[in-house]
Amino acid sequence: MPTMNIIEAVRDALRTQMRADSRVVVLGEDVGKFGGVFRATSGLVEEFGAERVIDTPLAEAGIIGTAIGMALYGLRPVPEIQFGDFIFPAVDQIVNELAKFRYRSGGQYPCPVVIRTPVGGGIRGGHYHSQSPEVLFIHTPGIKVVAPSNPYDAKGLLLACMRQNDPVLFMEPKRIYRASKGEVPEGEYTVEIGKAAVVREGTQCTVLAWSGMTSIAEEAGKKAEAAGISVEVIDLRTLMPFDIDTILDSVKKTGRCVVVHEAPKTAGFGGELVASIQERALEYLEAPILRVAGFDTPFPYTLEHEYLPNADRVLGAIRQTLEW
């Protein structure tokens, strides 16, 4: 079984599905000859041609609007938004059009568009190349939001997304694009959309994370173990729909929970997770649920590693729940 990083796994998923389904087309800024700013689409135009790997103008609303039209006429487009921060000009197309076509047509017109975009900080990209806007789209009924944390999940989830009929925002953690490596099966396989993964088992505290924060949560779990604390780490993988059953099973076992995410804390997705847990499992909780998140400031350039949650911050929150 070959070893891949996330970039290679994403490229392999695209290539696999484009070979299997001639309706799949890739479009976006620099995705063709240049192979994408992170090289995720490198080599695809040589194999599939410029009619299926389409370089577009720098116009995000146009990219998504074009993809919507393609999908309504029977294609299965996979547009790339070069950075998650650049998705905001396309919000109207995503929120008011893409997410609503199936509903407004009574199910007659599904709109199978899978939007790929790299998110998060850690590459010294400053405040225009480091944001995590997932909560804006989790709050939009009609679109799925997927956030893998490793190469195996990246390929399997992307293949699953391209094979179903709902629009998806597929958010890739660019900080670990090449740092996260693992065995990835050749050929076709899928990872179930909406199913979380227990990546570390424990008994005293549940830590919820996704995307680039999963590895931080795992590191915190190892540090906790060295201090005699048993931590269970769950990688959500899919943010909408999220796997409330796996979360509740863990929290009922441990009695404590910490949520870790990179986006600002106020009104972040962590708040929804906290509410969902306490609505269903309040009697099992031994301490308040804590959030470790980015700060309520624009993403900083020189202080990005102060902004990003790290294992020590997560471990501090774990200790706080145990001491409550």
Q: How many CB atoms lie within 10 A of CB 103?
A: 11
Which of 127, 129, 261, 305 is labelled catalytic?
Answer: 129
Its pTM stands at 0.97
List strand residue ranges (DSSP E) for 81-226, in order: 114-119, 144-146, 168-173, 181-183, 197-200, 205-209
Q: Where in the chain is the domain with CATH 3.40.50.920?
A: 197-323
pLDDT of residue 156: 98
β-bridge pairing 76-80 and 144-146: unpaired
pLDDT of residue 277: 98
With H, G, I as helix, E, B as strand and everything else as coil, classify residue 190.
coil
Q: Where in the chain is the domain with CATH 3.40.50.970?
A: 3-183
Is 127 known to be catalytic? Answer: no
β-bridge pairing 114-119 and 168-173: parallel
DSSP state for residue 94 in the 8-state scheme:
I
Cα→Cα distances 102→72, 93, 143, 184, Å: 10, 14, 10, 34
Please tell me the distance from the alpha carbon of residue 236 to that of residue 221, in angstroms, as a whole number: 16
| Tokens matching residue 104 | 């407004």
Mean pLDDT, contiguous 10-residue spans, the chain (324 residues): 96 98 98 96 98 98 98 97 97 98 93 98 92 97 98 98 98 97 96 98 98 98 98 98 98 98 97 98 98 96 94 98 96
Homologous superfamily of the 3-183 domain (CATH): Thiamin diphosphate (ThDP)-binding fold, Pyr/PP domains (3.40.50.970)
β-bridge pairing 231-235 and 197-200: antiparallel
- Whether the Cβ atoms of residue 36 and residue 12 lie closer than 8 Å to each other: no
pLDDT of residue 165: 96
- 197-323 placed in CATH 3.40.50.2000: no
In our burial notation (b when 16+ CB lie closer than 10 A, e otherwise), range 227-254 reads: eebebbbbbbbbbbebbbebbbbbbeeb
pLDDT of residue 1: 87
Instruction: Say if residue 323 is exposed, middle or buried (CB neighbours under 10 Å; 0-12, 13-18, 19+).
Output: exposed
244 contact partners, CB below 8 Å, separation of at least 6: 276, 280
